[in-house]
Amino acid sequence: MSSHHNGLKTAALLGLLTGLILAVGYWLGGSAGLVLAVIVSLGMNAFSYFYSDKIALRAMGARQVSEAELPGIYAMVRELAAKAGQPMPRIYVSPTMQPNAFATGRNPQNAAVAVTTGILNMLEPREMRAVIGHELSHVYNRDILISSVAAGLAGIVTMLANLAFFLPFMGSDDDDSPNPVGLLLMMILGPLAASIIQLAISRNREFQADASGATLTGDPLALASALEKIHHGTSRVPLPADGQLTSAAHLMIANPFSGGGISALFSTHPPMQERVRRLREQAALTRRW
């Protein structure tokens, strides 16, 4: 039921983004610009989709490790992948001391799970297994596809707004031309609204990966405990918000950057306290059944 509800919310948010594109395109009146924006933006995001694993792994400086190097992690991943009826993903380790983890790959056949040195040193085996369940759920839920589509649609809105500078109607005497004040508002509010919808989709996906990952492992409380430790660790050792890391941040189990105040409103991750609360509720419901 929770997965179905989250799926409906994601579909609704993607529908809002699509509607926003049509509204901006109609307002600007540039059908040629609309087509160009769609082609360029979708091309950029198709590249991100097919090479998402390489982009994220490179951003974190992760290297692929063998089973001889991390036998315990391999055993956990193999067990959970087999339980889900999915192929074994590649396993990577990032040398950063911040406790974090992420999964990437456009489908289970091209998946990779990456953990940091910091998280390997911090979590107990039960908590580490819960984190891996969360990350595998991102792959099984096709989150890379959904986030790529959301990013593509948001990019189209932003590109359309930028094209407004070059469209000829700015100096037109046509009464049907957009009002300059309204046009300026559209150029500002359009990309902002697209970004907010994209963030809502990312947060929704994170809640769903928590729930489905906890179901896969059968241990919601282990993931809740792991998230609390990870949140404390990322707060103590934030990563620099540079270009490469920014593009990969939404894949990680916790926001890798220092975030507070107004910046928290634009985080790709929901509040950690809310995630922990939901997991504890899930554990309580599981015990009743």
* Residue 6 scores a pLDDT above 80: no
Q: How do residues 28-60 score in pLDDT, each as one tens digit?
A: 655 665 666 667 666 766 776 677 678 778 889
Start-to-end CA distance of the chain, whole Å, equals 15
CA–CA gap between residue 158 and residue 149 (Å, rounded)? 14
At position 248, the amino acid (one-letter code) is: A
- Residue of 124, 135, 206, 228 marked catalytic: 135
206 is catalytic: no
Task: Report whether 93 contacts 119 (CB < 8 A).
Answer: no
Convert the pLDDT of each residue in 62-107 to its tens digit.
999 999 999 999 999 999 999 999 999 999 999 999 999 999 887 8
User: Which letter, b or e, does each residue of 245-271 get, where b requires 16 or more Cβ atoms within 10 Å of its Cβ?
Assistant: beebbbbbbbbbbebeeeeeeebbbbe
- 258 secondary structure, DSSP code: -
**Lowest mean pLDDT, pick from 41-55, 123-137, 160-174, 222-236:** 160-174
Given this model, what pLDDT does residue 105 score? 80
List all residues 6 or more positions away from 158 whose beta carbon is below 8 Å from its beta carbon: 190, 191, 194
User: Given this model, what pLDDT does residue 286 score?
Assistant: 83
* Residue 280 CB contacts under 8 Å (≥ 6 apart), including other chains: 220, 221, 224
Asked if 34 contacts 160 with a C-beta cutoff of 8 angstroms, the reply is: yes
The CB-side HSE value for 144 (13 A sphere, CA atoms) comes to 27
Least confident of 144-158, 214-228, 245-259: 144-158
